[in-house]
Amino acid sequence: MPTRVPDLRETASQTAGPYVHIGLVPAATGIHVLDRTVTNVVVRPDTPGEHITIEGVVHDGEGMPVRDAVLESWQADASGRHAHPEDPSGSADIRGFGRMAADFGTGVYSLHTVKPGPVPGRDGVMQAPHISFWIVARGINVGLHTRLYFSDELERNAADPILASIGSPDRRKTLIADRTLRDGKPLYRFDIHLQGDRETVFFDI
C-alpha cells in the first residue's frame, strides 16, 4: 500500500449531486433508514420568541427553479444565543439548525423557526438579526453561503456591519426577506438567485 504524507490543506469540495436527498433528507425520497434526522422544523411549540415561516425558491441563471436544491440554516435563538460551547451568552432555547429540501415539483422550500435576536459582531458592534444559509445542489461545486435578514428590521439592518460591507444598496436588498402574513401568521419570502441580474450576494466566510 502506498503511503502518503498527510496533506494538511482543506479537503476539496465536490458538488452534492442530484441525489443529495438520500444522505441529507432521506425521507424526501422515501428512505426510512435513519430514525432521527434534521428537518425544516427548528422550533418546538413552546419555544420562546416569534414563530415564523420562511419560504422561497432557488432560481438558476435562466430563472428556472432549482428543484433539487437542499438548504441548511444556522441561527441564534430569540435572545441571540447560539447552541454552541463557544457562545459566551449561555445556553440557547433551540439548536438553531435546519435543513430544507426544495419541492421536487415546484422548487419551493420552507423553514419553520423562530425569529433570531441580534448577535454580537466583531469589535463589539451588534449585528442585525439574521439566519445563515448554505445551499448545495447539482451544478454547485462548492456550497454557497448567504444570509437572510428581515424586512421589518430597518434600523438594525441599516447598522449591520456585514450588510454595510456590501457596496451596492441594490445587492444588499437581495439578502432581505419580505415579511407578510399568511393565515395571520408571519411569513418571510426569501428567494435566492444563483446567477444574473438579481443575483443573491454569496459570502466567502
Q: What residues between 65 and 124 interact with other proteins by CB under 8 A?
A: 66, 68, 72, 74-76, 82-88, 95-97, 104, 119-124
CA separation for the pair 43, 23 (Å, rounded)? 23
Q: How far is the CB of 179 from other proteins (least distance, A)?
A: 21
Part in contact with other proteins (CB under 8 A); list of ranges 22-30, 45-53, 150-158, 179-187: 22-30
Binding mask of the shown chain, residues 160 to 199, with x at each position contacting other proteins by CB under 8 A: --x--xx----x----------------------xxx--x
Q: Which part of the chain contacts other proteins (CB under 8 A), choosing from 43-51, 62-70, 148-156, 181-189? A: 62-70
Least separation in angstroms between CB 181 and other proteins: 27
Alpha-carbon distances, residue 74 vs 49, 123, 124 (angstroms)? 16, 22, 21
C-beta closer to other proteins: residue 34 or 182:
34
Q: Which residue has the cell 445551499?
A: 135
For the bound state, the minimum distance from the C-beta of residue 184 to other proteins, rounded and expressed in Å, comes to 30
Helix H or strand E segment including 71: strand 70-74
Please give the full DSSP string across 132-171, using - where no structure is assigned. EEEEE-TT-SSPEEEEEEETT-HHHHHT-HHHHTSS-HHH
CA distances from 46 to 51, 73, 87, 113 (A): 10, 20, 23, 12
Q: Which is nearer to other proteins, 49 or 187 (CB)?
A: 49
Which of 49/143 has CB closer to other proteins?
143
CA–CA dist 14, 37 (Å, integer): 23
Give the footprint of other proteins on residues 127-156 (CB under 8 A): 127, 130, 132, 134, 136-145, 147
62 lies in the site for other proteins, by CB under 8 A:
yes
For other proteins, which is the closer residue by CB, 20 or 52? Answer: 20
Which of residues 73 and 188 has its CB atom nearest to other proteins in the complex? 73
200 to 29, 85, 197: CA distances (angstroms): 28, 31, 9
Q: Determine the Cα–Cα distance for residues 10 and 149; give it in Å rounded to an integer.
A: 30
CB of 67 to other proteins, least distance (A): 9
Ramachandran angles phi, psi of 45, nearest 5°: -55, -30
